[in-house]
């Protein structure tokens, strides 16, 4: 896909800035281009007087498949992890509430984006997996937002097994706010966004900042260590062999 093709679309209606991930060729993987565009759209939404709420969604069922392994297997090891840490921070520190709508699968790094959001609405069919362990990796960069959301038992099981878990389990773990039937997902997302839009701008901004303090502190305290750890593992022979083997099967 050429770099000129837009991977994150921006639209505003009824007080909601909708950012739509649209990179079907790699299942909305966190490529350099997609992450860069997502940063830009988040910044645009922050300064958009017509938007009081930010909604992250996807054009297809898959919300995000995680890191772009084709880039990770060949690029500078630290670039990806640092970008993912920065993206999570941008969502947590955003001056407007960020809602994520999930119609289907989320994997690995994509779960960090989900965990960084304020409210997450998932369809019953959505599923999740922290698959890093299968590739000789660990969810280091995304641990800064994911681990504070999960109980320690849930984190240990999800991270060590790499198994899929459903939307109901994700809600029980603390990763998802609300679960809706597939045919009711859009209505539930609209309801949540309308409720948020009814808030006063100053109230929304200051309340979000208050709620975000512990998570921001955690990100800032661990950013360098987790980016370095992630980069070291991505650059290892074991991980590179596993990533190349995975890509060859696709």
Note down pLDDT in tens along the chain; length 250 residues.
Answer: 445 699 999 999 999 999 999 999 999 999 999 999 999 999 999 999 999 999 999 999 999 999 998 887 665 567 889 999 999 999 999 999 999 999 999 999 999 999 999 999 999 999 999 999 999 999 999 999 999 999 999 999 999 999 999 999 999 999 999 999 999 999 999 999 999 999 999 999 999 999 999 999 999 999 999 999 999 999 999 999 998 888 887 5
Q: Which domain holds residue 57?
A: 8-184
Q: Classify residue 236: in a domain, yes or no.
A: no
What does each C-alpha distance from 138 to 110, 163, 249 come to in angstroms? 14, 14, 21
User: Is there a domain that residue 206 lies in?
Assistant: no
In a domain, 83, yes or no: yes
In a domain, 84, yes or no: yes
Distances (CA, A) of 246 to 108, 181, 190: 14, 32, 38
Q: What is the model's pTM?
A: 0.95
Supply the CATH number for residue 50's domain.
3.90.226.10
Q: Would residue 160 count as lying in a domain?
A: yes
Element (H, E) at 116: helix 109-116
Does the residue 15 lie in any domain? Answer: yes
């Amino acid at each position: 896909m050429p770099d000129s093709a837009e991977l994150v679309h921006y639209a505003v209606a009824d007080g909601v800035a909708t950012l739509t991930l649209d990179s079907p060729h790699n299942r909305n993987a966190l490529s350099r281009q997609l992450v860069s565009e997502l940063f830009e759209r988040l910044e645009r939404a922050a300064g958009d007087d017509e938007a009081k709420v930010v909604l992250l969604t996807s054009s297809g069922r898959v919300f995000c498949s995680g890191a772009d392994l084709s880039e990770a297997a060949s690029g500078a090891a630290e670039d990806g992890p640092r970008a993912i840490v920065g993206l999570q921070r941008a969502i947590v520190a955003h001056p407007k509430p960020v809602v994520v709508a999930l119609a289907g699968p989320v994997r690995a790094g994509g779960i960090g984006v989900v965990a960084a959001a304020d409210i997450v609405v998932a369809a019953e069919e959505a599923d999740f997996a922290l698959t890093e362990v299968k590739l000789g990796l660990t969810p280091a960069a995304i641990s800064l937002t994911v681990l504070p959301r999960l109980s320690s038992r849930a984190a240990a099981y999800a991270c060590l097994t790499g198994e899929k878990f459903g939307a109901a389990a994700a809600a029980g773990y603390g990763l998802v706010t609300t679960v809706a039937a597939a045919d009711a997902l859009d209505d539930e997302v609209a309801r949540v966004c309308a409720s948020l839009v009814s808030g006063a701008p100053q109230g929304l901004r200051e309340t979000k900042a208050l709620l975000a303090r512990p998570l921001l502190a955690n990100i800032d305290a661990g950013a360098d260590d987790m980016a370095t750890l992630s980069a070291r593992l991505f650059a290892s022979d074991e991980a590179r062999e596993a990533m190349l083997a995975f890509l060859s099967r696709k």
